[in-house]
Amino acid sequence: MTWSILAKDPETGALGCAVTSCFFAVGAMVPHVEAGVGAVATQAIVNRALGPRALRLLSDGETPDAVVKRLLDSDPGADVRQLHVLAEDGATAGHTGGRCPYWSGRVQRPGVSVAGNTLAGEEVAQATLDGFLSASGGFGERLIAALQAGERVGGDCRGRQSAALLVRGRPGHPDIDIRADDHAAPLDELERLLRVHVHDFLPVARHFPGVAGEHGAFDAATLEAARSERLENRRRNLTPSHGAIRAAQSAPKAIR
């Protein structure tokens, strides 16, 4: 009921996974990404534990092929699992169990892997791969555009319900970690959330600890500039957010 794309951004070295499914909250189960290590999607009859275990093995220097073999050799449910793995160097590997429902399989290029099950046909996976390679824009935009390309040729044959995008390792930027857990058009909703991330979240989050140095930036001028940028983005209709920002209020006086 799921298909996903794993990719490495050749410009920044960031790693990402985008996924969509006719299932609730797919982002809580399928994508696993660690900056500088790799990206993993565990799907079909999901064994979520495979994601963190795969990242640990990659971190220990195992190749994607070796990772997939080790994980599935110890999983008695391997016949109903689908798993694909992308290493930091762009190498990929995958597994589609024999009991995964039609159409199920994987297509790949160096630095990109697409895998899916219960799809309208192999053309969904191929369109997703081709869509990523031909898309323009930022890395997150390209990952979502890839799934949109697969959706246009049939997508998940059972329908649609949720989608997620997870990107880690962009220098100077916080992670992208957004989800549409239950939506009639989850990929469209993911596109909206990415715009909110860029124009409403980033002005503040790029100053967070771990992004702007160990402790972040928290001086008054920086914080006020971030707030002003958020407000200006909303004024210019760049932020399609459902939230509302109230005018700043002065701090209450201390009670003596």
Q: pLDDT 10s digit of each residue in the chain, 256 long?
A: 799 999 999 999 999 999 999 999 999 999 999 999 999 999 999 999 999 999 999 999 999 999 999 999 999 999 999 999 999 999 999 999 999 998 999 999 999 999 999 999 999 999 999 999 999 999 999 999 999 999 999 999 999 999 999 999 998 899 999 999 999 999 999 999 999 999 999 999 999 999 998 999 999 999 999 999 999 999 999 999 999 887 666 555 555 5
**How far apart are alpha carbons 96 and 79 in whole angstroms?**
8
Write down the H helix ranges in 39-173: 50-59, 64-73, 122-134, 139-152
Give the Cβ contact number of residue 76 at 10 Å: 7
The reported pTM is 0.93
Q: How far apart are the first and last CA of the chain?
A: 62
**How far apart are alpha carbons 143 and 148 in whole angstroms?**
9
User: Between the CA of residue 78 and those of 100, 155, 207, what are the distances in Å?
Assistant: 10, 24, 43
Give the Cβ contact number of residue 167 at 10 Å: 29
Query: 3-class DSSP state for residue 130?
Result: helix
**Cβ within 8 Å of residue 53, ≥6 positions away:** 71
Give the Cβ contact number of residue 204 at 10 Å: 15
